[in-house]
Amino acid sequence: MVKYRDQNLVENKYVHKKKIENVLLANLRRALPTHIPKCIWNKEIESAGALLTKEEAKMLRNYYILHNTADFPYLNNEHPDKKMEGEYYLLLNVPHFLEASLLDNKKAFSSKEIEEIKTYYTFNEKRKCYMLHKAVRDVEEVQLLTMLQRKDICMSENEKYQLSGILEKLPGFLKENIFYANMIIDLNHEFFFEHPTEHLPGMMVMEAARQFIIAVCHIFGRIPVVDFSMILGELKAEFKNYIELHHPVKLKGVITKLELGKDQMWKKMTMDIFILQKDVIAGLITIGGQGISKTLFSKLRRTLPKEHNKSRYYPISTFYNRVTIRRDETNENLHCALINVSLSGFCIEMNHPILEKEGIPVYDFIFCFEKMAFIFGKCRIVWQIGEESKYFAGIEIIKLSLKDQDNLYEAIKRYCYVVEEREIL
């Protein structure tokens, strides 16, 4: 069984994949707020009405505990421009209190561990215990719980995913642009593990990072999946350690640059993606890009046809037999093998020659490419040669609608390859 494969897998449409086995992410979520002012809690949660179910509200109450800022003065420092005196709900991701006797136990902790724990807790003379004095998250959270041996309050990735999904429904929360996901490591993946390896392939990590930013842009950045394209503008990678196969891998993404468009939709963004394993940063991948409509994308990608009129392209084998020549006088269709194609003509192979009419005869032709509209046009025969059951013909395209020109151009880009022998490349 592959870890996380059956748990909160990111939908393949959000990472631009057809096959579900090529999705490398699960439990994609926004960072959980470590504290929530009571005034916002009451407005967003206690008065949420139809926004939250009873079960969802109950889950939030189980993981967020109400405290007074007098006991946790650092909470006011989190809001320097607007001090919210009173009460806060604190995320129960680490203990909020520690008994004084706990850190006096020299057998339970080393002097170095005690010193490290005290960077998170301050002794409160009034309450006679150690109290949390800073927000704790990410790697620090795991390290602290490990030192305190408090596995009982360690939140699972599934729990964090559920909490984040609940909070995402509430519009009044200040949401950080920090995101997390678990990486799926499938040792049976045909591409990434086509040969034995004892560590995680770097290209698999790069693909996970690519999927990560794309999914975040669609799910949290409001970029539509349909009729929008993602354009890569920047990619940098640095690996500090080998990444092991037998231990979980987590991705943490931090938006460092963001430009918003209409309706607060993300327009341009840059994200630092940290690759975490065993509480250590094993790599950093920076990806920048933008989301644009497919209409604009088509304009950007539309090179002037004149530049390609003389170039010939091989069709890939899948589409070798996808051209038909139609004779008007007999209403007969001649199915041919497409040898090469350009924007101004094409070459075909036939079982018998085309019987030409007097003058300069005009024929109809039809191309068929996968997931493209049929391409209709008119043509004339420039030459044909052959013998017995194998004939070849050179065809000139003499009429093609603007729509069919666009479809032919797109088909060549997707399904053909330039005849290098004819070009100076």
Query: What was the pLDDT predicted at 299?
Result: 73
Q: How far apart are CA 221 and CA 304, in angstroms?
A: 33
What domains does the chain contain, in order, with CATH numbers?
1-31+176-301 (3.10.129.10), 305-422 (2.40.10.220)
Report pTM. Answer: 0.80
Query: What was the pLDDT predicted at 308?
Result: 56
Backbone phi, psi, residue 327, to 5° = -95, 120
| 278: number of Cβ within 10 Å | 13
Which has the closest alpha carbon to 68: 56, 83, 54, 85?
A: 85
Query: What was the pLDDT predicted at 288?
Result: 96
**Residue 7 carries which DSSP code?**
S
Query: What was the pLDDT predicted at 205?
Result: 96
Query: What was the pLDDT predicted at 5?
Result: 56
Query: What was the pLDDT predicted at 70?
Result: 82
Helix axes 157-168, 54-63, angle to 10 degrees: 120
> What does pLDDT average to in each consecutive run of 10 residues of the chain (425 residues)?
68 94 96 91 80 90 91 72 71 94 84 92 91 88 91 92 94 89 92 89 95 97 91 94 92 96 92 93 96 82 59 76 74 84 91 72 84 83 88 93 88 86 71
Q: How far apart are CA 153 and CA 150, in angstroms?
A: 6
Encoded amino acid at 20, one letter = I
Q: How far apart are CA 255 and CA 178, in angstroms?
A: 7
DSSP, collapsed to helix, strand or coil, labels residue 62 as helix
Query: What was the pLDDT predicted at 1?
Result: 41
Q: How far apart are CA 355 and CA 129, in angstroms?
A: 100
For every residue of 268-320, DSSP letters joined together read EEEEEEEEEETTEEEEEEEEEEEEEEHHHHHHHH---GGGTTT--EEEPGGGT
Across 7-128, where does the E strand assignment appear? 25-30, 35-37, 64-68, 87-91, 97-99, 121-124
